[in-house]
Structure 1
Amino acid sequence: MSDPISRLDQFRADAPGAPMNSAAEARRRGDQIRRRRRAVVTAGVAAVAAVVTGPVIFLSTGLGDKGIDPAPATSESAVASSPSGSASASDLTRANLPTEDDLVADDPYPAWVQQQTYDGEGTDTYNDCLTESLGDRGAETTFRRDFVAKPGEEMADAAGTLNAVVAQFDSADEAEKVSINLSDAAISCSGVDGAELAGTLPIESRVISSGSIDVVTYQPDDPDMNAVWETATAVVAAEDRVLVMTRKRGVQDYVPPTTLQTSAVNAAYRMIGAAPPDEPSPDPTATGSPTAELLGEANLVAAGDLPPLDRFESALGWNRYTPTPDVPTLACQKEWLSSLSASAKVATDYRWDTDSAMVGQVHVAVLEFSDANAAGAAYNEIMEWMEVCPANKLGVDPNVTALPMDVSSDLDAGPKRAARSQATYPGLEGGDSTWFETELVAEYETRLVLVGYGELAGPCPPSTGDKEDPCYQPDQPDSWPDRVLAIEKAAVTAGISDLR
């Protein structure tokens, strides 16, 4: 059976040197994603897809002769992308473009700063994979902003470039249709010879109707360039608007894609005139504004708060990463968490790697609901998932080994109720390789915390303290139960920290 969780070894965001997909696998993934999107459009369902990009590398990008414009002015050479040449039919403005505060710069590279802002899409190519302008696709109005890594800072020349284009269309349906077509164009990247898809992942936000971040790599024209070009394209539709964010840089072929996800989500909020998730809204009652108290990074357990997986040595320890689209938070998850209609969500994923394989994973999601009744209904839905553990469209087909049991008194954080179950599913390596996963859902006031923790073992579980058990191994530490509980406690404590 295909094991999507084990496949994630190809998409590590924080582990330098992780291998990318083979060309054949990347093309297969791209074909699969395109089929899914077409099916979604046919059914009239909002498509949600996303992608990752990766830690940057060192190469000069030829930006030294471009001046920084700290207070961008309209470019005289910029061309309006509206078919009529007028923005009168649209209320989109430059204020709907992302600012440097919305962008996440990946360590060790300096922060992004504004270089230039345009009315329209500009006269030069801002994305190598998109050969048709947004104006040609029916946009009423467009604006563009270019960013560069802060000049003079260490590694600035290696960061590449980043730009964002926002466009307004005549309807939300049209905007979503255009965003899906743009994503398909980014995957195929027909504008560049020999481009290969390097990765694609899902993105979820309360304001986004469809979105993707697609990463391709291709050979440079310069034979002396000791790396390949990487273009990451984030496409997001929200209301009647579309965002296209492009990151281009030089990378060596062993460097994994980095992430544009947080930057794209922040920019999507900015595009529709709402405060990004990490900023308080000045008017939480205004239409389209996020709730006054949004979830944030403080609600996610940190790597340093997770106990070590002591059965395996790891040079990195718990390593945060961005998984592929096929990976749910819980193996027994029937649907994507967006089906629960939470008002806000944050999530994180960690992995434990040996020299040769990933052997442990922690998936955490924190969901905020409109009221306690909505949170309780979602809790009951997740409990049903954990009991039935269906073979599902998320690509996981687990076997339940322990039905949900109440563990609320064990967590110390004081949840109203909490339940844990266990499931197994085969590892990618075949044979007796098996993922052993514990799944937790905890409810506290208007919030749920979900924790999926898996260890690779097999055919026996990671440890057992029962000497009568055929799987008992006296040379293995019986620390699995304590490790599970410690991970759950840390995740729940962080998830509800601002409510206590």
Structure 2
Amino acid sequence: MSDPISRLDQFRADTPGAPMKSAAEVRQRGDQIRRRQRALVTAGAVALAAVVAGPIIFLSAGFGERAIEPQPAPAPSQTPSTVAPSPSASAPASDLTRANLPTEDDLVAEDPYPQWVLEQTYDGEGRGDHNECLPALADSGALATFRRDFIPEAGQEYADSAGTLKTVVAEFGSADEAEKARAKLSDAASSCTAVDGTEVAGSLPVEGGVVTSGDINVVTYLSEDPNTNAGWEVATAVVAVEDRLVVLTRRRGAQDYVSPTTLQTSAVNAAYRLVGSSPPPATASSSASSSSSSSASAPAAVLSDAHLVVAGSLPGLPMEGESSAVWQQVAPQPTPTLYCQGAWLSSLKAAESVSREFRLENPDEIGKVNVTVLEFASKKSADAAYETVHGWLDTCPATMDDAKLFTARPVEAIEIGTTPEIDRAAQTLAEYAADCGGEGCDATWYDHQTVAQLGARLVLVTHAEAGGPCPPTRACPPEEASDYTEWDNRVAQTVEATVDRAFQDLP
């Protein structure tokens, strides 16, 4: 994975606002601006209407307020065009504007996803929820709010699976009120009681720069479609800078939890915009160094992409009358590694994990390989996780339409000829109906699912091939044991290549 901090190299010394002042100077300047502007405005809240319209992926379109064509932000000397009446003559005025929202350049995209680009800007919080876990900021006492939504750059690789990123800024009557609202929103983000079936995936603090306080909470939940294991991941950053808040919500389909360090950097950058400043080039590195210094005793990462099998090591699928279909690596999919998973892999409490997925198409999808490698803090923890996964393979408790599933044979121990020699491994074959576009058919997935352990490390492997009415055997229907040989060999080769790569650095 590339270093997300390197994406901030685009900030130059001639960027407006550079060279940057210290965090204390920025806060002092923000206080001066607010005091001066509040002395000039009448008893009312200033709201600048400017909404950018664009295409939306994942979620339904058109839930903004007063959407108009994008316009450049007014210069500081210009007067905002719309004045909203205040609830009372004594209510404090707000000088928050859309200029306090983060820009495309402030946001760090997680590798391998494309850069975030502007989709829409809203007066207020928009007509649709920007975060399914949170109450409205107006309900928390915000004097003014603005919202800006981002999507992945269209036409780029992995754009369809990167999700959406929505940002909201708000101003409160005091720093104390802002902190109370931040704590309330963070609690809502971590529990997400507004959505049924959510699971806590992880959290991360947001520190550095002008940030007063902040954190990121990540939850996951399954799709409402009962026939799939597709899931959603919602990562919510809530950050306070004195009397203002910024909320960043990244929503995407996800297979397993990945620490939201890119969102952490984006949140620090957004905090600078909140006080009317541009993020300095050193923001990301200083934030990272702050985090690393607070966890200097943490062990270095053990797993990397080097522990994941590559497409060229997977056996092709022979096609009648033509050359074999070959595997292609695809973007992370919003589905579990194993079809029979009873929960997201984050529930296993691994210290680290890396994943990769492959597909066969000819031209429709005829093969799936999913791989996840998990590193645990101890062998005891890995032993417990192995038993949990073994139980999943034995009972297949995943949420799905039971009428579409039957397990061809019970889970059984297998041998895998790799060096170093593994501790243990188990495998099952699940058969389930394929998607026929709403029409009845006999298409079936034949899905071998494997778990292997060596010390404190596990590897999970799915090798699924499409068939129907017969399995992917040499003869249909298969009559001899030899009819299964080619299929069995393909599965064994996939598992061996995957396990060998995952355990290559272990003694």
Q: TM-score, length-normalised on structure 1?
A: 0.52
> Which of 317, 337, 359 lines up with 1:329 in the alignment?
337
Mapping of 1:189-338 within 5 angstroms? 205=202, 208-210=217-219, 235-237=234-236, 243-245=247-249, 265-270=260-265, 286=294, 292-293=300-301, 295-311=303-319, 317-324=327-334, 327-338=335-346
For 1:445 and 1:131, locate their aligned partners in 2 and report how far apart those are by CA, in whole Å.
Answer: 43
Classify 1:444/1:173 alpha carbon distance in 2 versus 1 (closer, same or farther; 3 Å): same
List alignment gaps of at least 5 residues for structure 2. 1-55, 60-67, 84-90, 95-99, 171-181, 205-216, 224-231, 241-245, 269-282
Offset from partner CA, 1:443-475 (integer Å, 9 cap, x none): 12322110011111134332269x99516797x
What is aligned with 1:445?
455
Amino acid at match of 1:437: D
Q: Give the distance between the partners of 2:297 and 2:148, measured in 1 at CA.
A: 23
Superposed CA deviations along residues 103-152 of structure 1, whole A, max 9, x for unmatched, are 44756xxx559x9xxxxx997568674489953143889998988999xx
Report if the CA contact (8 A) 1:140-1:169 is conserved. no
Q: Provide, for residues 248-273 of structure 1, a one-character-per-residue CA deviation record: whole Å limited to 9, x for no partner.
A: xxxxxxxxx99999999344444798
Offset of residue 369 of structure 1: 1.6
The Cα shift of 1:374 comes to 0.2
Aligned to 1:175: 189
Cα distance in 2, alignment partners of residues 52 and 370 from structure 1? 38
- The answer for the alignment partner of 2:23 in structure 1 is none
Structure 2 distance, partners of 1:442, 1:459, is 31
Over 3 Å counting, the alpha-carbon distance change for 1:472 and 1:452 in structure 2 is same
Q: Is the 8 A contact 1:162 1:245 kept in 2?
A: yes
Assess if the C-alpha contact under 8 Å between 2:430 and 2:446 holds in 1.
yes
1:407 aligns with 2:435: no
Task: Tell me the residue number matched to 2:479.
Answer: 470
CA distance in 2, matches of 1:319, 1:203: 29
- What is the match of residue 97 of structure 2? none
| 1:205 and 1:345 in contact (8 A); partners too | no
Q: Could you give the per-residue CA deviations for residues 309-344 of structure 1, whole angstroms, max 9, x where no partner exists?
A: 2247788842414444xx432233233322222233
Residue number in structure 1 paired with 2:388: 381
The 5 A counterparts of 1:62-141 are 99-104=106-111, 106=113, 111=115, 124=123, 129-130=128-129, 135-138=137-140
Aligned residue for 2:371?
364
Aligned equivalents of 1:367 and 1:341: distance in 2? 9
* Whole-angstrom distance in 2 between the partners of 1:272 and 1:478: 54
1:328 and 1:336 in contact (8 A); partners too: yes
Q: Report the Cα distance in structure 1 between the residues aligned to 2:505 and 2:136, rounded to whole angstroms.
A: 42
For 1:288 and 1:86, the matched residues in 2 are separated by: 44
CA gap of 1:419–1:180, structure 2 versus 1, over 3 A, is same
Mapped partners of 2:341, 2:371: distance in 1: 13
Q: Which residue of structure 2 aligns with residue 340 of structure 1?
A: 348
Task: Name the Cα RMSD after superposition.
Answer: 6.0
Pair 1:393–1:105, CA change in 2 (3 A): closer
One-letter code of the match for 2:328? W
Conserved? CA contact 2:202–2:219, under 8 Å: no
2:470 paired with 1:460: yes
Instruction: Structure 1 unaligned segments of length 5 or more: list them.
Output: 1-50, 55-61, 68-72, 88-92, 116-120, 185-200, 215-232, 248-256
* Residue 479, structure 1, aligned to residue 476, structure 2: no
Q: Is the 8 A contact 2:470 2:477 kept in 1?
A: no
Match of 2:429 in 1: 422
Deviations 1:263-290 (A, max 9, x none): 99344444798x99xx988766847998
Offset of residue 375 of structure 1 = 0.6
Instruction: Find the residue that maps to 1:443 and give its secondary structure.
Output: strand
What is the TM-score with the length of structure 2 in the denominator? Answer: 0.52
Equivalent-residue separation in structure 2 for 1:470 and 1:453 (angstroms): 23
Deviation at 1:171, TM superposition (A): 6.3
- For residues 329 and 336 of structure 2, what CA distance do their matches in structure 1 show? 18
Aligned residue pairs total 363
Larger Rg: 2
Determine the C-alpha separation between the residues in 2 that align with 1:210 and 1:393. Answer: 18
Q: 1:406 to 1:473 in 2, by over 3 A?
A: closer
Q: Judging changes above 3 Å, is the alpha-carbon distance between structure 1 residues 76 and 134 closer, same or farther for their aligned structure 2 residues?
A: farther
* Distance change >3 Å, CA 130–CA 101, structure 1 → 2: closer
Alpha-carbon spacing, 1:342–1:398, altered in 2? closer, same or farther (3 Å): farther
CA–CA separation in structure 2 for the residues paired with 1:76 and 1:344: 52
Q: After TM superposition, give the deviation of residue 378 of structure 1 in Å.
A: 0.8
Match of 1:435 in 2: 445
> Which secondary structure does the structure 1 equivalent of 2:317 belong to?
coil
Specify the code of the residue in structure 1 equivalent to 2:500: T
1:488 corresponds to 2:495: yes
Residue 348 of structure 1: how far off its partner (Å): 2.9
- In the alignment, the residues of structure 1 paired with residue 169 and residue 503 of structure 2 have an alpha-carbon distance, to the nearest angstrom, of 35
1:260, 1:441 → 2: CA distance? 17
Are the counterparts in 2 of residues 104 and 263 from structure 1 also a CA contact under 8 Å? Answer: no
Match of 1:392 in 2: 398
Offset from partner CA, 1:419-448 (integer Å, 9 cap, x none): 233232233345543221111111123221
Following the alignment from structure 1 to structure 2, what is the Cα–Cα distance between the partners of residues 166 and 106?
A: 25
* 3-state SS of 2:419 partner: coil
Counterpart amino acid of residue 346 in structure 2: S
Q: Is the 8 A contact 1:420 1:440 kept in 2?
A: yes
Contact 1:126 1:163 in 2 (8 A): no
